[in-house]
Amino acid sequence: MPELLTVQQVDPWLQFNPYIVSGYRPRMTIRAALRSFFGWHNESFNIWTHAIAACFVFYLTLFPPAMDPTATTTTTTTTTSVGSGGAGGVTAMAAAALPSYGRRWLGTSNEHLAGANPTTAFRATCLVFIAIFICSVVYHLFMPCPTSEVSYRRLMNCDVTGVVLCITATSWSFLYRGNACSAGWTSHAGFGAVLLSGLFVLYCVLFNATCGAIGRLKAIGFHCALRLSVLLWIELPKVQSQGYHQALHCHAMSYVFIALGGVIGGFRFPERQLRRVTQPQPASSAAEATATSRFWRWVGRFLVSSEEIDYMWNSHTLWHYCIMLSTTMMLLGFYYDVEEYELARC
């Protein structure tokens, strides 16, 4: 592993977060970047977390969750027969096994919708998540390889494409399994809106050379907001009419984690706050230190060191943690969408 650099020593297009001051890899070849997968630098946790997440989702692809649909219900019934000529009734108590309710759980459904049964759709959703995690690993692993800002933007577009693909393709569960009692056209209309939005965002991000970080944030934020609107349009009537809310809660929590990660990244938390209070201050400024600055100095002294901020606990690493939690909630939302779809009675 070559000697690591500071933020002032790397290429200008890699200096987008000046509060991460150390741990940068020098410019290297693709082969050297591959070897750095096992090295220790400020992108190590970003690479490892999503590589581990990809492996876990791949396991779910091979072994999707399944439940036993053969459960039966036993009840006691009372029958009364009335004889002819006014004879008294004879009452008999018998335990009768009701026919099993054919719930089409994951792994057992033969019903096809949009060309796939729930098991196939669940595996396809897992493959989408694997794709976004692989795109993220590729981006972070080969960041030192581009020799110009143009080539770096092409590499970054790989990561952006994975994000937009994930937002669009994972809408399948709530669009076609979100509400069994909704009209068929609502699912197709929602899918069309999400698909057109995804294509528009990809066009703006990939083919617009003037689209910077703020532009990408606005475009992807618009896409997420539209997806959330379609989700509520499909799922809320189910909650109100049938009382099934587990899937909606999981989908909502996935948005909470995404929003939390976005806020953390936007405020460069916590590296921005820690760097500001740890910089040398004039004596007059030190005397006027507020309670907030004293708190952050205490955090930087006793809880998180400067190296830990650069390597493990900076805003982008926390964003990766939030994405993993959001992915977990999306998969749970898919699972409960299928379950509640089969339980629905219209």
Whether residue 250 lies inside any domain: the answer is no
Please, what sign has the CA dihedral across residues 326, 328, 329, 330? Answer: positive
Q: Give CA separation, 332 vs 49, 91, 246, in Å.
A: 20, 49, 9
The phi and psi torsions of 37 (rounded to 5 degrees) equal -55, -35
Total structural domains in the chain? 1
Whether residue 234 lies inside any domain: the answer is no
How far apart, in whole angstroms, are the C-alpha atoms of residue 132 and residue 163?
A: 6
How far apart, in whole angstroms, are the C-alpha atoms of residue 310 and residue 298?
A: 18
Position 280 scores a pLDDT of 56
Whether residue 100 lies inside any domain: the answer is no
How far apart, in whole angstroms, are the C-alpha atoms of residue 238 and residue 344?
A: 9
Helices (H), the chain: 30-35, 44-62, 118-141, 149-169, 172-177, 184-206, 213-242, 246-266, 271-278, 283-287, 291-302, 306-311, 315-343
Which residues are known binding-site members?
140
Position 279 scores a pLDDT of 65
Strands in the chain per DSSP E: 74-81, 90-97
Whether residue 55 lies inside any domain: the answer is yes
CB 33 within 8 A of CB 141: yes
- The residue written with tokens 């026919």 in the block is 99
Maximum CA pair distance of the chain? 111
CB 133 within 8 A of CB 53: yes
- The amino acid present at 63, given as its one-letter code, is F
Provide the domain limits for residue 27. Answer: 1-68+116-227
Which residues are known binding-site members for Zn(2+)?
140
Q: Give CA separation, 277 vs 293, 304, 305, in Å.
A: 6, 13, 13
Whether residue 23 lies inside any domain: the answer is yes
pTM higher than 0.85: no
Position 289 scores a pLDDT of 58
Whether residue 215 lies inside any domain: the answer is yes
Position 70 scores a pLDDT of 40
Half-sphere exposure of 265 (CA within 13 A, CB side): 18
Q: Is the peptide bond before 2 cis (omega within 30 degrees of 0)?
A: no
Tokens of 7: 């933020």
The phi and psi torsions of 316 (rounded to 5 degrees) equal -75, -35
Tokens of 324: 């993993």
Whether residue 102 lies inside any domain: the answer is no
Position 104 scores a pLDDT of 42
Whether residue 175 lies inside any domain: the answer is yes
User: Which residues, given as ranges, of the chain have pLDDT below 50?
Assistant: 68-115, 283-287
- The residue written with tokens 């592993």 in the block is 1
